[in-house]
Amino acid sequence: MRVLNVCVRIDKKSGGGSVAAIELARVFVAAGLEVDNWIVVDPSDGDLLNVQDLRVEIFKTDFGSSRYRFSIDFTKALRTRLREYDVVILSGLYLYPNSIASYYCGKQGVPYILFPYDSFNPEKLGHSRLQKTIYRLLFDNAMVRGATLIQAANEAERRQVVGYTNRTENVFVASFGFNIEDFSKKRPGLLFQNMVPWDVEHTKTILYLARVSKTKGVETLIEAYEKLVRTDACYRLLIVGPAWDAEYNEHLLERFHELISEQKIHFSGLVSDDEKYACFQKSYLYVLPSYAENFGITVLEAISNRLVPIVTDSVPWQELEDHNAGFRVPTRDADAILRAVLCYANLPEQKRKEMKENAFNLAFKFDYGSIAKVYLEALRKAAGLGAVRS
């Protein structure tokens, strides 16, 4: 079976969706499938994810369309070569490559599986509502209708997809898959010390690692930290990730200037992969206070390194509580984050060690080998059903 994986962007600053799209290709390759990855890049992308182990074809954007990713060469390739493939994978909405690929799939009779990556989450639908509504009416409603299958990362997303499409028969639930051993390789401890302005041996670093944007709840986390550091001065807060919303980032730097100047909070920006995993391996706790998440890859990266996470109930990681591997707290509640930190800190050392081991063991639920069967069945089903439109 030949699979075409359309990856609209693979720049590191784009977040978990880009990583998941590439890791999906690796799942298929590990299962013995022939996978080509067509990737659309823009000069503004910056550092890209490592794809040297995959079969990749690069297409450049035209007319400075970094947002919607219009590409003439990509369109020509679809028109002339799409029939070479048995199934196409499309990841995300509001992106020209996916919209035009779905059109040609329908025209040429090639089935495709849509990975919406939380696009139907009410929180996400509310952002740039007018632009998104117009784009869906013009292009992506047809893409959704034409999908042979639609993936949902969890039951909550399945309900959102069904609620939008009014279709149940073509929606399947499957988590994302990753190589857990890659996440948990040991990195030099000095990498972490060199990243922060405090002595890591005599402080407890609370880590936030994701894009800095309003939907990630960073301000709520810092409000919790303000109260925490009054209780115990040994805590520090490390904010790692690109300033996705520059205006919001400036607001945070201004509002919490005093704590930053006192070197109690540090914004590191985008870091290398080795530095990222050093953060997971040397921090005291990981906090993801998002208002909406499709999966939360950074949670998986944290538990793969025995780092206990605190997440909001908008992050679909009920498994953390089910396996005593972390904490879930109400969204937009700084006091709840504070209570979770103190709860963990007040546990006996043996109980904290147990939570760390529980977290590490939970990570392997999302390893390649654990989820490959579900995706292979979806591919075979899609290939058997054929394209929705002919």
- 157 and 192 in a single domain? The answer is no
Kindly state whether residue 80 falls inside one of the protein's structural domains.
Answer: yes
pLDDT digits (tens, 9 = 90+) for 327-350: 999 999 999 999 999 999 999 999
- 203 and 337 in a single domain? The answer is yes
Kindly state whether residue 339 falls inside one of the protein's structural domains.
Answer: yes
pLDDT digits (tens, 9 = 90+) for 43-75: 999 889 899 999 999 999 998 888 899 999 999
Pair of tokens at residue 102: 């779905």
Q: What is the DSSP annotation of 17-54?
A: HHHHHHHHHHHHHHTT-EEEEEEEE-GGG-SB---TTS
Strands (E), 111-234: 112-115, 149-152, 171-173, 204-209
Question: What local confidence, expressed as pLDDT, does residue 260 receive?
Answer: 97
Instruction: List the CATH number of the domain containing 376.
Output: 3.40.50.2000
Question: What local confidence, expressed as pLDDT, does residue 17 receive?
Answer: 80
Kindly state whether residue 389 falls inside one of the protein's structural domains.
Answer: no
pLDDT tens sequence for the chain (390 residues) = 999 999 998 988 877 788 889 999 998 998 889 999 999 999 999 889 899 999 999 999 998 888 899 999 999 999 999 999 999 999 999 999 999 999 999 999 999 999 998 899 888 888 889 999 999 999 999 999 999 999 999 898 999 999 999 888 899 999 888 888 888 999 998 999 999 999 999 999 999 999 999 999 999 999 999 999 999 999 999 999 999 889 999 999 999 999 999 999 999 999 999 999 999 999 999 999 999 888 899 999 999 999 999 999 999 999 999 999 999 999 999 999 999 999 999 999 999 999 999 999 999 999 888 888 889 999 999 998 867 543
- 148 and 223 in a single domain? The answer is no
Kindly state whether residue 390 falls inside one of the protein's structural domains.
Answer: no
- Residue-number span of the structural domain to which 340 is assigned: 180-365
- 220 and 167 in a single domain? The answer is no
User: For the chain, how many helices (H) and strands (E)?
Assistant: 18, 13
Number of domains forming the structure of the chain: 2
- 171 and 184 in a single domain? The answer is no
- 246 and 172 in a single domain? The answer is no
Residues 6 or more apart whose Cβ sits within 8 Å of residue 138? none
Kindly state whether residue 357 falls inside one of the protein's structural domains.
Answer: yes
116 φ/ψ angles, rounded to the nearest 5 degrees: -75, -15
- 154 and 185 in a single domain? The answer is no
Question: What local confidence, expressed as pLDDT, does residue 388 receive?
Answer: 58
- 168 and 216 in a single domain? The answer is no
- 72 and 169 in a single domain? The answer is yes
Question: What local confidence, expressed as pLDDT, does residue 197 receive?
Answer: 96
Q: How far apart are CA 176 and CA 297, in angstroms?
A: 9
Q: How far apart are CA 206 and CA 47, in angstroms?
A: 26
Kindly state whether residue 184 falls inside one of the protein's structural domains.
Answer: yes
112 φ/ψ angles, rounded to the nearest 5 degrees: -140, 150
Strands (E), the chain: 2-7, 34-41, 56-60, 87-91, 112-115, 149-152, 171-173, 204-209, 235-240, 265-269, 285-288, 309-312, 327-329
- 126 and 232 in a single domain? The answer is no
Q: How far apart are CA 193 and CA 278, in angstroms?
A: 9
Q: Which of 176, 235, 375, 216 is nearest to 311 (CA)?
A: 216
- 90 and 37 in a single domain? The answer is yes
- 294 and 359 in a single domain? The answer is yes
DSSP-derived letter for residue 178 is B
Q: How far apart are CA 249 and CA 247, in angstroms?
A: 5
